[in-house]
Chains A and B, each alone.
Chain A
Amino acid sequence: MKTLKNHLGLITSLVIVILIAIAPIVSGNAASREVVFTILRAIVLASSLNILLGYTGYVSFGHIVFFGFGGYVGFYLITAQGQSLWVAMLAGGVVSGLLAYLLGKAILRLRGAYFALATIGVNEAVRAFINNFEPFGGPTGMTMNFSVYQEYGGAMKALEMSFYIMLVLALLVVVLSYVVRTSKFGLGLLAIREDEDAAEVMGVVAPDAKTWAFVLSAIFPGMVGALFFFKNGSVEPLDAFPLHTSIEMIVMVMLGGQGTVLGPILGAAGYQRMRGLLVTSPIFKNIQLAVSGGLLLLIVLFVPAGVIGWARQRWPKLRRVLQ
């Protein structure tokens, strides 16, 4: 019982993710399932980014590079090597982590705006590389035969399965985020966020800690990329490395509350649901981007710490639950 009480923050976060996903599971409604798939994908991406942005304080404007790179490697393994989705996702996660490790060694020495700029450069460089890399189809990308879905019981089953895999990934990333936040390693990251020089004086090996935070924040986007493009049936450079999605990831983290476990979940769900509703709303559909921009502006102006950050300040007693 005491253990449960100690991990109330984790339990709350997991329950909220399950609540978000429960409607299509109960009703079996395909349209609802697709909506929630988009939300869960956003939760995985935002929670992953939060490990770097929220805990460590490093803004990565090109974080989508891991989604694209992992997606490409996974898609290549499925279409050209005949591997299963499981191998593809695993490989997508591993190569993204590896890419983050190598990049981390090189660019995490930069701080502030210089690091942010470097991440944009990395995204563009990887996209240019893929654009000229023939085994990955160069600029034309790759397409998957419809018959591949037969191995998973047909397209209908494959798409349904993708949803459940995404739900598992979302739950796993929440656990990872919580474990990092409550570990000694996580405390080191929070110290770096507050003052990197002071953290080093206190014994935090900042370059190593930052690199591992970067790696952890890259693995799940890589796996999600492999799953997303498997479900889409095709991949091409422009779809795999959209800079605007990187920015949306940052917005989702800020909206919910950076540096918290629950914040990115609420931020991602709220942002995606808002976009989804505006896109299909008869009143707002033609001005949906302007409306969502305006709403974001209001929230950032009045709740700069994000929803969870503000709630934690407002009701200190709830801090155990709202982590």
Chain B
Amino acid sequence: MKRSFTILLALVLALSLVLAACQPKAPAATETSGGESGGETTAKTQTLVIGFTASQTGKYNVSSGRQVNGLNLWMKQINEAGGIKLSDGTVVTFKAVSYDDESNKDRVQELYTRLATEDNADLLISPYSSGLTAAAAVIAEQYGKVMLTTGAASDATYKQGYTKVFQMYTPASRYLTGAVDLLAKTDPSVKKVAFVYENSKFSTAVVEAAKEYAASKGYDVVLFEGYDPETTDFGPFINKIQDAGAEAILGGGHFQDGSAFARQLYEKNVPVKFVTLLVAPPEPDFADLGDAAVGIIGPSQWEPLAAFKPDFGPTGKEFEDAYMAAYSEEPSYHSAGGYAAGLVLEKAIRDADSTDPDAIKAALDNMDLTLFFGKIKFDTSPEAHGLQIGHSMIYIQWQKDGDKLGKQVVWPEDGATAEVLYPLH
């Protein structure tokens, strides 16, 4: 017994003292590569290291995992295709190095510093979520590494004076503005709008911007009310909506609350003409609501249905097929965002005809292209450098074709697959 105690003590002391005091060795991180290994330059081949953290555990696990799947698919394809050939004859291939950030901020800066200094990452991809990205951006900027952010929609990060951080997603401030445009186009007589939203970072940022936009378009915001993320009973909010005489509802938050809200609006037969909710409607599981889902509109960063004509990279269909073949599941917009981030890096290197970080940054600054994911263009003003100004949300609506319930793209007009179902009641 004494012996086991001694062993345990030795173990703990070894962990706490020796390891803590010693110079940490370079960790063996996850490495994904389809090409040359080692991150070294030979006469003709150069392997660029793409570093990022993924949320392999914790609340962002699913979304982050799909984002990484998308990025890895792009990397596999480009490496298998022989990499990027520059005019000086150099062939550029890619290798990924990643760590688990556990969906929390505690170690994000620690791991990004490691990526930048120990793993010598040439390019960085952000963690999933705006909060983690804000912490990583400080490190990216500090070490002068270009970082593409996916899954980080908050505008605030891009207004802090960063010059190396570039956003792939439509920012939160424009998440719901398209819904206001859609409503204005569909029925100019509607004037009374209610905003009922989850009291969380993301939803609040979205609705505050949308409220301002709606007011600027002449809408009367009759209700602006946040609810707790744990809310399951929307009765009191529905009563307020009815009392305020709202004709349209915008808001929601995440999947659980958004689904419950949509179901209760249907059950109480609330006489509104137009409902747009965040996050929940684009999810395939939203169909479980049955008739309650019909007519509900939701914004999405990308949908397989969207018919964009890309001037670089695969079409939406080609991406979807390749993703299905690789992972045996439908790609979500997170997957598409990860893949598109790879495409943007690829295009920037091709445009720069170099792997020099400054040249890649300049190419990103000048970028203006359409991918299967949508349009990509970055703000280059000092006030909001890197903010996404090209990409727009796609708005889907659940519609019934006979007995079959399905999603249709209803906005923007150039990507629409069906007329909007209006009014709801």
B154 at the interface (CB under 8 A from A): yes
Is the CB–CB distance between A31 and B118 below 8 Å?
yes
Contacts of A255 in B (CB 8 A): 12
Contacts of A234 in B (CB 8 A): 131, 134-135, 156-157
Q: Please measure, in the bound complex, the distance between the C-alpha atom of A131 and the C-alpha atom of B202, giving whole angstroms.
A: 12
Is the CB–CB distance between A288 and B113 below 8 Å?
no
Q: How far is the CB of B228 from chain A (nearest CB, A)?
A: 8
Contacts of B107 in A (CB 8 A): 38, 276, 279
Contacts of A256 in B (CB 8 A): 16
Q: Which of A132, A141, A285, A299 contacts B30 (CB 8 A)?
A: A285
Q: How far is the CB of A20 from chain B (nearest CB, A)?
A: 5
Is the CB–CB distance between A140 and B204 below 8 Å?
yes
Contacts of A280 in B (CB 8 A): 27-29, 99, 111, 114
A19 at the interface (CB under 8 A from B): yes
Main SS at interface, chain A: helix
**Which residues 1-44 in A have Cβ within 8 Å of B in the complex?**
16, 19-20, 22-23, 27, 29-39
Is the CB–CB distance between A281 and B28 below 8 Å?
yes
Is the CB–CB distance between A286 and B56 below 8 Å?
yes
B424 at the interface (CB under 8 A from A): no
A232 and B105 contact, Cβ closer than 8 Å, known pairs A19-B21, A30-B113, A30-B117 = yes
Is the CB–CB distance between B28 and A143 below 8 Å?
no
- Which of the candidate stretches A190-198, A215-223, A266-274 sits at the interface with the other chain? A266-274
Is the CB–CB distance between B17 and A16 below 8 Å?
yes
Q: Which of B13, B106, B205 contacts A140 (CB 8 A)?
A: B205
A280 to chain B: closest residue by CB: B27
Contacts of A288 in B (CB 8 A): 57, 100
Contacts of B116 in A (CB 8 A): 30
The count of chain B contact residues (Cβ–Cβ below 8 Å) is 58
Q: How far is the CB of B231 from chain A (nearest CB, A)?
A: 13
Is the CB–CB distance between B5 and A269 below 8 Å?
no
Is the CB–CB distance between B27 and A29 below 8 Å?
no
Is the CB–CB distance between B29 and A236 below 8 Å?
no
B219 at the interface (CB under 8 A from A): no
B308 at the interface (CB under 8 A from A): no
Q: How far is the CB of A228 from chain B (nearest CB, A)?
A: 9
Contacts of A311 in B (CB 8 A): 9
A207 at the interface (CB under 8 A from B): no
From A33, A138, A256, A311, residue with most partner B Cβ within 10 Å: A138
Q: Which of A22, A141, A159, A266 contacts B142 (CB 8 A)?
A: A159
Is the CB–CB distance between A266 and B17 below 8 Å?
yes
Is the CB–CB distance between B142 and A299 below 8 Å?
no
**Which 3 residue pairs are nearest across A and B when measured between Cβ atoms?**
A270-B16, A280-B27, A234-B134
For the A-B complex with A38-B106, A288-B57 known, give 19 more contacts whose Cβ atoms are closer than 8 Å. Answer: A19-B17, A23-B22, A31-B24, A32-B23, A34-B114, A38-B107, A38-B110, A138-B204, A139-B201, A147-B161, A155-B138, A232-B108, A233-B138, A266-B12, A266-B17, A273-B20, A285-B56, A302-B5, A311-B9
